[in-house]
Structures are given as structure tokens and as C-alpha cells.
Amino acid sequence: MKLIKSILAAGGDARQLYCAERLAAHFDISVTGFSESAFPEGMSLKRLSAAGKSPFDCVILPIPALDGEGFVNTPLSQEKLPLETIRGLLAPGGIVFAGRVTEELRRAFPENPVIDYSVREELCLRNAVPTAEGAVQIALSELPVTLCGLPVLIIGLGRIGTALAGILRGFGAQVTAAVRSPVGRAKAAAMGIPAVSCGELPTDFGLVVNTAPELVLDREKLGKFGTSTLFIDLASKPGGIDMEAAAELGLKVIWALGLPGRCAPVTAGYIAADTIAGIIEERGEA
Amino acid sequence: MKLIKSILAAGGDARQLYCAERLAAHFDISVTGFSESAFPEGMSLKRLSAAGKSPFDCVILPIPALDGEGFVNTPLSQEKLPLETIRGLLAPGGIVFAGRVTEELRRAFPENPVIDYSVREELCLRNAVPTAEGAVQIALSELPVTLCGLPVLIIGLGRIGTALAGILRGFGAQVTAAVRSPVGRAKAAAMGIPAVSCGELPTDFGLVVNTAPELVLDREKLGKFGTSTLFIDLASKPGGIDMEAAAELGLKVIWALGLPGRCAPVTAGYIAADTIAGIIEERGEA
Amino acid sequence: MKLIKSILAAGGDARQLYCAERLAAHFDISVTGFSESAFPEGMSLKRLSAAGKSPFDCVILPIPALDGEGFVNTPLSQEKLPLETIRGLLAPGGIVFAGRVTEELRRAFPENPVIDYSVREELCLRNAVPTAEGAVQIALSELPVTLCGLPVLIIGLGRIGTALAGILRGFGAQVTAAVRSPVGRAKAAAMGIPAVSCGELPTDFGLVVNTAPELVLDREKLGKFGTSTLFIDLASKPGGIDMEAAAELGLKVIWALGLPGRCAPVTAGYIAADTIAGIIEERGEA
Amino acid sequence: MKLIKSILAAGGDARQLYCAERLAAHFDISVTGFSESAFPEGMSLKRLSAAGKSPFDCVILPIPALDGEGFVNTPLSQEKLPLETIRGLLAPGGIVFAGRVTEELRRAFPENPVIDYSVREELCLRNAVPTAEGAVQIALSELPVTLCGLPVLIIGLGRIGTALAGILRGFGAQVTAAVRSPVGRAKAAAMGIPAVSCGELPTDFGLVVNTAPELVLDREKLGKFGTSTLFIDLASKPGGIDMEAAAELGLKVIWALGLPGRCAPVTAGYIAADTIAGIIEERGEA
């Protein structure tokens, strides 16, 4: 099997730059899809130039890979980056690493392996940490009380909920978990955390963090909370909190998406780099 | 579907008694396979008597269900309890709950659902806690130093390794994890624990706890440790430590199996009860 | 001894309002030194009006009690509040509770007990928590990496350093403590945290938090750190970090004072209230 | 001031041997008051022999220094060791380090500095850790349930109570603290632990650990607990639990004294050694 030597990191936010920087220790890496002002001071990454370009063994697209119009997702550049451009830069059979891969994306690279590194367990596990830390940052900023001693409800004990519970315990918060299954209940029991059912939520919490990817806090449930409770929703669209109802009820809800890239871009970039390097090694191409 | 009303708990250690006691709140439960002296003072459970017996909707066999000779595993009774006896007590189509189910066991109940509750995630998750606590108890008993400040190596970050790492962190131990996969490495990173590869283990630890179900510490690796390190192996047979080599090297190894039943029989019994009750509910038979 | 019934809370920031609100459950309390816009919505506190005023058994001045010109410290009001005004509102022998009491303040109330509640151990212990949480909030906001896995140096293991160490451990940070005495070294050992001497600081940390009230990081020591380290100084003036040298060296230093009032005014107000109520009870005046 | 070169460690349990071993790196140390079988295998310490003995600059007596009859406390020897013997081995003005110094002991060395190292803050702080770990070991051995999820009452939040609370939190126990002062209440608040007053104790705990050096659990209070609660008393005589009443009520109480020496003799010996070395350095005699 052919070894991977040259990599093109195309598009994405600051995470992608740190990802490229970390991979640069082992690969010949170039980047494209960034305006010059996007590069942090002192970072020396090879920019892709029209002249010197050569086919790459591999391309890394960001998380998510595409913007709403089907171009590569390039929030740090003014220019559109079409998928055909990427295809033209890729060696025959070259690998496409991308986040949140869609059918559209796969169709654009019919003769290449398209690997969604954003669903890899090792990435999701590690990304739960900057997500949980970002939620804590929001809570610390918004709440006029300390987390120490605060009754907190965490909805869902998946990777993020578990990471969050561990951090909040270190603060001395009084954590309760809302769970939806026997396994969720067992996770709470194994952490020594009181568990409640999502169906019958108590409401005396100063902070409620939702991590469950489905509507848990509907209008009826929200109506039982007081306005001093802060709500943070970490779930992707459509989210777990009825935002319209919350607004009408005068509740404070913060819907926080993409925390790893916003709160800890270096760590998030390294996580992506390690995941991709691991996949390459696993495939015997390192 | 028929509702479960009467249950027979047959054989097992003290866990089974506490399991039965907990289920007695919701079911008509009888027990068999225990000598009278096995019952803790004050526990009022209905003994199965030859006279009053009737077919049961369900039978609970222990973990493991069978002894080495194919009888029900009855460590707290002098009498053998054959599977045929159990079969004769079971209503047609009655459910058999059992731990570590073998083909032999399934063949003995050809017309009954045989459910291995010992492999359920919710049971394994919660049983990791008494196992980890039991390992800590051994370490506290055997070590002449405090866990606080002690360099500890945990081999494997599955359920037990994760539970153990959390407890040891509370003691202020200096935990390192030995992992065998990118996911294991990610788990360590997500806990902020330094990770080493199982292939290249450092040796300056006061305590090494193995949780991996395969030979990790062979003669060569063991030979690099000093005699002041305490080894605890929590893995089932064949275990993760070459015991013969360890003995020859003068290393202190404690192979600790079945800790939930030995260290926390009440909790372990309740875990089994909750798991079984959950399965019954899930099947719509509660 | 006369029982305290009426209290005047004069000046201060939002903490003082929450302090007054909490004390209102047990005392007849009025407030002065706040513009109307300073009151949070829904808070019903009696304003001191020229008409209805009567001598108060007790007055609460904020932390610090005085501004730079010797007036009551009233950051939330445009008007000056002279100490003579307060004196005129106080009953003969009425108690003055104040923070960071100066000789000037004592001289202004020659015939009243002047009690510095800001030096009480129970207040300092509890205020260490919002201070530590505030430092964590700054770190989360400023750092592009996660606290999980981050090497952090805490200088000083007093109340704040200890609280911070506990929180950071929950994040999975790799905490080291710099200590200056055998007792400090013992505290670190008792938490299982590696200790270094303030005289010989290692420099490979992503975050350095100073809690020691004296110059620890002078120009020479600062010169050994790289620019990716974030410094947070929690010590009162003159602080523990040579700010001028740090600026010249291009180091990022955040000098964070008064965190309890800024980050958790409700909690900080309640802490003051509980402390004052405790002193009143202790004196047999409740 | 004269530098200390030679030290005699006299009497005590295994701690004293490890103390001597640790000090041997820096001083010329001899030991006496141990039968040969008391020495752990492989430990090479110079025994005091009648022939080669010379005056010592310093003697270390154990904690406690004396037995009930006024001899040096020598639990690991059959022979009595009179204080006169020690005095005869000490150089003029030589220092006596001793634990729990009594007037009797001071009178026996009228011309020597007698230093009670057992009351030093750095020793007490660090000894709280093996004490707390010893209490956890007892709880793990005696309880048929896991600490995870267990409601635990800790009476007193001094050094030991605080250490214990931190460890138990790591287990996922539900810790409540019983406190006797505003400072105790503040400590609990700063850890995020619910506090109750010693005067009005709730009783629904699976484990109660007393660390307060006074009678807290008298007959009346004990009478409200059920027999499934385990009590551990860590307080020195007279202890905090009415043992007679507890026995009559059928309650299980374990009075655990001297845990550092019993559970972690190596650590406890090192703590003593570090404390003594620190005092010598502080006095400018190192």
C-alpha cells in the first residue's frame, strides 16, 4: 500500500491550522482556504500556491466539510473553494478525510476513499472535553453565583455529560443526572450521582445543561422552572430545548454549538490531527 | 404477554439473597440452595419447601450459574442442586435468568428463554464499582505507604480501569494508564491521565493494577519491576500477569476475582436485582 | 446587651445589595449609596429616605469600606457619601461592620465598635471559592487549549491555592504547587500534588496562577518562561508578578482582583451576610 | 551553633525504623529498642551496641515517647528502655525529639532542648492522610455496600475530616459534614458539602466517622441510629462516641487509633523524618 507523504489541509477554522501544524512533524503538509490574517503569529505553514502545487496523497477537509452551498467550508477566507479544485489537487486514489461527510461529498470523490474522521470514537471522546469545558466557561460567565454548592442538572450521561459531571464535581457542585435508559441510570449510579428520569424532572436547579440530541425540555417542562435557572444546550440542531417557548417564558437559554473550535482551537486541532494520524497508521499508510 | 409474578432465586452466594430481598418488594419470591446459616440475621425470605412449591414464572440462577460439575452453583449449601430440579419447578415457557450462560445451560432449558443478565451493560457498568473499590481495599491493606502521592499504573481503561482511576485520583495518587488502542489513549487524554503503551511499560510504580483480559505482564516485563511494587490482577482467567514468573521473581501479586460478591454483597445483589427487574420491564412482563 | 433590629447597608457594589437582601429575612434593613439603576430587577429593598430615617443599631460598610478620598466606597452611585452622614444615622453605641478597616475609619467612629468582617476566617475561607472560580473562568476564556491535561503551576497553597487545586484536579489538569515553607510542602504532600520551591521554579507550564502576596516572579524568573504561558495574579497589591518586566518580555499576565464581587456577586453577598449574622449571634445580639 | 551529625532513634514501632532509614541519607544514625525480628528484610540500619557507642548529638523518641510506666515506648522489644539510659547516650546539650511530650519527660532531660515534633503543623497535616486512608480501609472491609452512593456523615472538618471528605468524594459517596462553628460551616460550604449542626444530627447514614475530640454521639443521639450504620471513631481518648451506650444499643463501632503507624508505617516514618529534618534545618543545625 502506498505511503502517505503529502497532505493538503483545506478550509476550516483555526482548528484546521493547528491540526496541520501538528501533522507537519510527520508529513509534508500544505494549507489552503485561509486569508493571510487567519494565521496566528509565528505559525509557519506552507501555503498552497498555484505554481508549486503537485498532486497530494491526501486532503483534510474540516468539520463540517461543506458550507451550505456545497463549497468547502472556509470561514476564514473570503474566497469560495469548490470541491472540483480539491479533486484536481488530489493524486489518483488519494484519501479524503472530512468531517460530517454527506452523500454529496462522497459523490464528488467517486474514486477516492472518503473517511469521516468526525465520527471516530477517539475524536468524539476527546472532543467531549473542550465541549464540557466550554459549557463550564459559559456557566461561570453567566451565573452570579458560584458553581460550588450549586444544584446542577445534566441531561444525558454520554461522553459530554460524563465529562461535565466530573468537572462539576471538582467544583463542589451538587450534580443530578437526567437519564433515559437503564444504562444511563447505571452510569449515574457508578458515579454516585443521583439520577432522575427525563420524564419527571425536578426543577430546583441553578443550572441545567442539556447534552441529549432530542427535545427534552418542551414548553410544559420549561414552564415549571423559575427564571433564575440558567439553561445551556449543547445538543446539535434541533437541540433539546424548545427555544421559542423558553423565550416566551423569559428563561435564559444559551445554545452553545461548536465549542471545541471556539474555546480550545489548539486542543481541538491536535485531537483532529491525532485521529487522522491514527487512521493513517491503522491503514498501514504511515 | 404473561406477567411475571412468582420468582425462584436458586443458588449463589450472599449476593443472590440480597438480590431476592430487593425483588421481594415487587414479586412473590422464594429461594433455594442455601443452608439455614447462610441467611443474614433479620432477613425474611420465603424458603422453597417441598410441600408448598408451585411452578414459578421465572428462575434466577447466580453468576456463574453452574459449578464445575454442571449443578447449580450453590456455594452456601452442602446439597447438590441439579438443573432438572429447577426445570421441574418452572412454569411452561418460564424465563431463566442466569449469569455466564453456557451452551450446556441452554440445552438444559430447551423450551425456555435463557437470559444472561451478567453480560448486560448496566450490570457490568455498576459492577465495575465494587470491583474497583475491592481493589482499593486490597491496596490499602497490603501497602505500607499511602495511596496519596503513590505512582500507580492501571492497565486498561475499560469500565473497571476508569472507575479505579477516578477513585485513585480522589486519593491523590499519581495515576498513569497503560492502553492498547487509540480509543484507550483518547480515554486517558479525556481524563487528563498520562498514557503509556502496553508495549513499553515504565516500571517505577508502587502499585500496578491490571484490568485487561489478556497476558500483558509476561516474564520479560515483570523482570523489570522491583519487589516493592504491589500487583493486583482483576482480570478473569487466564489473567493478565504471568503468575509463575512473578512468583519466581519474588514479586507480590494478588489475583482478585469476584470482588463484587466478596466486598459488597449487598450492592452487588441490588445491582443484579435492578438489572433483572429492568429486563422484565423491558420485555413488558412487569 | 441590646438586640440588633435595624441595619443600614451603605455603599459597595452588587455584593452589598445581595448581602442586604439576605439579611432582610432577619433584620429591618435599609440601603443607601446606590443609584436606582444599580438595583437588579425584582429586588425589593428599602431605600433610606431623608424623611423616614431613624437611628440604626448597626451599619454595614463594604469591602473596602472607603474610597481613595476617605468617603464611603460607593462605586454604584454618583454621589459622595461622607462618613459623618453615616455617623449621624447610627444609634449611640451602634456597631460599624466594615471591610479592610483603617485607622482613619476607626477614628471616624470613636464611640462605636468597629468590626472588620473582611478578616474573619469564615469569610476568607468561603471567598476563596469565587476567587478560585473566577481564576478558572479567566483561564478558560484566555487559553486556546483545554485545562484537561494542562501543566499548571499554583504559587502558594493558602485558602485560594487549595481551592484552585481542587477545582483544577477535577478538570484533569496536571497541577504542581510552588511553596515557601514546610507547612506549604506538607499541604501539597497531603493533596498528592508535586511541590517545588519558590526559589527554583520549573517553567514548562501552560498556566501559572499566583496566590502569594509577595513578589515571587521577578524579572529573572519571568525571563525563563515562554510566551505561550498564561499568568494570572490573584494577589493584592503589590502583587506577586513584576508586571513591568512581564510586559517587556511579551508575557501575557492578567492581574485579577476583586473576583468574588465581579464573578459571583450573589454568593459573595451571601457570604458577607452570613459572616455578619454570625458575628451578631456570637456577640449575643441576635 | 553546633551541627547535628549523629542521631539515635530509640523505641517506637515500625514507623521509627523507616524514619531512621530516611534520615540515614543525611545523618549518622543508630537505632535501639527493637528486637532483631522487628527489622524488615533488607533494611540496613546500624544497631546501637554497648561497645561502639558514643554520645549522640540528638535522640529521637517515638510517638508517644513513653509507655505507661515511664519507660521509652518500645512495643517492638521485650526489654525495658529507661530514660536514664537515653540520657547517658546523649551529648551535653543534645536535642531530644519526642512525640506527645509530658512534663515527666521534660524533667528527665533538664539540660536538653526537648522538642515535641508530634504537634508540628506539617506533621499533623500529613499524618491526616494515612489516618483518613486507614478509616477508608476499615469502611471498605466492614461495609457490605459500596462507598459509591453511600450517605456518609463526617463529624468535624479539621485536617482529618477534610482529607477524608476529599477521598470519599472521589468514591462518589454522598458526604455530609457535622460542624460545630462558623468556621467549620464555612469549610463545608467551601467544599460544596452540606453541613449539619452537631446538635441536630440526621441519622440516615450508612457510615459515620467521628474526628472531633469530644463526646459528640452520646446515648441519646446514638439511640436514633439504626443498626446498619457503621461508626468509626478516629478521635483520641476519650473519643467522640459513647462506646458503652453503643454496645448496649447493638451498634457497630470501631475505635481506630494510631492508624498512620498501623496502615502506612513507611509513609508515617517518612513524615516524622521530614518533620525532624525540617526542624533541624530551621534551627540552623543541619
Question: Distance (Å) from the C-alpha of residue C68 to the closest C-alpha of chain A?
Answer: 27
Q: Strands, E, within chain B: which ranges?
A: 6-10, 28-32, 46-47, 56-60, 90-98, 114-116, 151-155, 174-179, 195-197, 207-210, 230-233, 252-255
Residues C6 and C26: their CA atoms lie apart, in Å, by 10
Q: CA torsion B37→B38→B41→B46, rounded to 10°?
A: -100
Contacting partners of chain D (3+ CB pairs under 8 A): A, B, C
Chain C residues in contact with D172 by the CB 8 A cut-off are: none
Q: Identify the top-confidence range among A48-57, A135-144, B40-49.
A: A135-144
Identify the CA nearest to A240 among candidates A207, A208, A209, A217: A217
Which secondary structure element, helix H or strand E, spans residue B19, and what is its range?
A: helix B14-23
CA B189 – CA B187 distance, rounded (Å) = 5
pLDDT at D237: 78
User: What stretch of H or E contains A196?
Assistant: strand A195-197
Q: Radius of gyration of chain A from Cα atoms? A: 21
Query: For residue B51, is pLDDT > 70?
Result: no
pLDDT by residue (tens digit) across C5-38?
999 999 999 999 999 999 999 999 999 999 999 9
- % pLDDT > 90, chain C: 89
pTM of the model: 0.95
Contact A145 C266 (CB under 8 A): yes
In chain D, which residue ranges form alpha helices assigned H by DSSP?
14-23, 83-89, 103-108, 121-142, 159-171, 182-191, 219-222, 243-248, 259-263, 265-282
Is pLDDT at B253 greater than 70 in this prediction? yes
Distances (CA, A) of B76 to A227, B11, B130, D203: 58, 8, 21, 34
Chain A contact present for B185, CB below 8 A:
yes
CB pair distance less than 8 Å for B264 and D129: no
Give the sign of the dihedral formed by CA D61, CA D66, CA D71, CA D77. negative
Within chain B, which residue ranges are assigned CATH 3.40.50.720? 6-119+264-282, 128-255
Q: Give start-end residues of each CATH 3.40.50.720 domain in chain C.
A: 6-119+264-282, 127-255
* CB nearest A137 (choices: C141, C166, C265): C141
CATH of domain A127-255: 3.40.50.720
The arrangement of secondary structure in B128-255, i.e. its CATH architecture, is 3-Layer(aba) Sandwich (3.40)
CA R_g for chain D: 21
Q: Calculate ∠ Cα B92-B96-B102, nearest 5°.
A: 125
List pLDDT tens digits, range C224-251.
999 999 999 999 878 899 999 999 999 9
| Residue C10, phi then psi, degrees to nearest 5 | -120, 120
The cell numbers describing D63, all together, are 510517638
Which of A121, A122, A190 shows the shortest C-beta gap to B128? A190
Q: How far is CA D183 from CA C8, C278, D179, in A?
A: 26, 10, 9
| pLDDT tens readout for residues B58-109 | 999 999 999 999 999 999 999 999 999 999 999 999 999 999 999 999 999 9
Helix (H) or strand (E) holding C186: helix C182-191
Q: What is the pLDDT of residues C79-108, one digit of tens each?
A: 999 999 999 999 999 999 999 999 999 999
Judge whether C169 is closer than 8 Å to chain B, CB to CB: yes
CA dist B202 and C286 (Å) reads 63
> Which residues lie closer than 8 Å to A220 by C-beta, 6 or more apart?
none
**Chain C, nearest residue to A166 by Cα:** C170
Instruction: Find out whether the peptide bond into A238 is cis, omega within 30 degrees of 0.
Output: yes
Residue B52: band (very low, low, confident or very high) from pLDDT cuts 50, 70, 90: low
A 10 A CB-CB count for B250 gives 8
Residues of A in contact with B282 (CB under 8 A): 182
CA dihedral D138, D141, D142, D147 (to 10 degrees): 80
Q: What is the pLDDT of residue A236?
A: 84
CA–CA separation, A60 and A27 (whole Å): 13
What is the pLDDT averaged over residues A222-249? 93
Q: How confident is the model at residue B242 (pLDDT cuts 50, 70, 90)?
A: very high
The helix/strand/coil state of D2 is: coil
Provide block-wise average pLDDT over 10 residues at a time, chain D (286 residues).
87 96 95 94 83 82 95 95 95 96 96 97 97 98 98 97 97 97 96 94 96 93 95 90 95 94 95 97 84
- Regarding predicted confidence, which is higher, A177 or A257? A177
Q: Please answer whether residues C55 and C89 qualify as being in contact, where contact means their C-beta atoms are separated by less than 8 angstroms.
A: yes
- Within 8 A of A171 by CB-CB distance, chain D residues are 192
Instruction: Check if the beta carbon of residue A101 is closer than 8 Å to that of residue A65.
Output: yes
Is the pLDDT at A53 greater than 70? The verdict is: no
**Which residues of chain D have a CB within 8 Å of the CB of C123?**
186
List, in sequence order, every residue forming a beta bridge with D253; answer none if it has no partner. D231
Do the Cβ atoms of C122 and D166 come within 8 Å?
no
Find, in chain B, the residue whose alpha carbon is nearest to that of C147: B192
Answer left, alpha or beta for residue A6, where phi above 0 means left and psi between -120 and 50 means alpha.
beta
Give the whole-angstrom CA distance, residue C18 versus residue C9. Answer: 10
Fold (CATH) for A6-119+264-282:
Rossmann fold (3.40.50)
CA gap D127, D132 in Å, rounded? 9
Please list, in sequence order, all residues whose beta carbon lies within 8 angstroms of the beta carbon of residue B25, skipping any fewer than 6 positions away.
none
Please tell me the predicted confidence (pLDDT) of residue B83: 96
Closest Cα in chain C to B165: C172
Q: What is the pLDDT of residues C145-193, one digit of tens each?
A: 999 999 999 999 999 999 999 999 999 999 999 999 999 999 999 999 9
Q: How far is C214 from chain D (nearest CA, A)?
A: 21
Is residue B110 helix, strand or coil? coil
C149: nearest CB among B171, B174, B192? B192
- Reported as a pLDDT band with limits 50, 70 and 90, residue B112 is very high
d(C-alpha A208, C-alpha A177), whole Å: 10
Whole-angstrom Cα distance, residue D11 to residue C241? 49
Tell me the per-residue pLDDT of B186-200, one tens digit each, with 9 for 90 and over: 999 999 999 999 888
Q: Does C147 touch chain A (CB under 8 A)?
A: yes
Which ranges of A24-181 would DSSP assign to H, the alpha helix? Answer: 83-89, 103-108, 121-142, 159-171
For residue D199, what pLDDT is reported?
A: 86
Does the pLDDT of residue A52 top 80, yes or no? no
For residues D271 and D286, what is the distance between their CA atoms, to the nearest angstrom?
A: 18
Picking from D88, D85, D109, the residue whose alpha carbon sits closest to that of residue D97 is D109
Confidence category of residue A237, pLDDT binned at 50, 70, 90: confident
Q: Measured between beta carbons, which residues in chain D are less than 8 angstroms from residue A172?
A: 190-193
Instruction: Tell me which residue of D256, D279, D17 sits closest to D123, measured CA to CA.
Output: D279
What pLDDT is attached to residue B284? 85
Amino acid at B104: E
CB contact under 8 A, D125 and C282: no
CB B172 within 8 A of CB B147: yes
- pLDDT at res. B50: 57
Cα–Cα distance measured from residue D58 to residue D89, given in angstroms and rounded to the nearest whole number: 9
Q: Which residues of A touch D162 (CB under 8 A)?
A: none
Length of chain D: 286
Q: Does ipTM top 0.90?
A: yes
> What local confidence, expressed as pLDDT, does residue A49 receive?
73
Among C130, C123, C135, which residue's Cα sits nearest to residue C63?
C123
pLDDT digits (tens, 9 = 90+) for A7-51: 999 999 999 999 999 999 999 999 999 999 999 988 989 988 755
- Rounded-to-integer distance, Cα A227 and Cα B92, Å: 57
CB atoms A144 and C168 under 8 Å: no
The fraction of chain B above a pLDDT of 70, given in percent, is: 98
Tell me the CA end-to-end span of chain C in Å, nearest whole number: 10
Sign of CA dihedral B121, B122, B127, B132: positive
Residue A165, pLDDT > 80, answer yes
- DSSP per position, C126-162: HHHHHHHHHHHHHHHHH-SS-STT-EEEEE--SHHHH
The shortest CB-CB distance from C148 to any of B148, B173, B190 is to B190
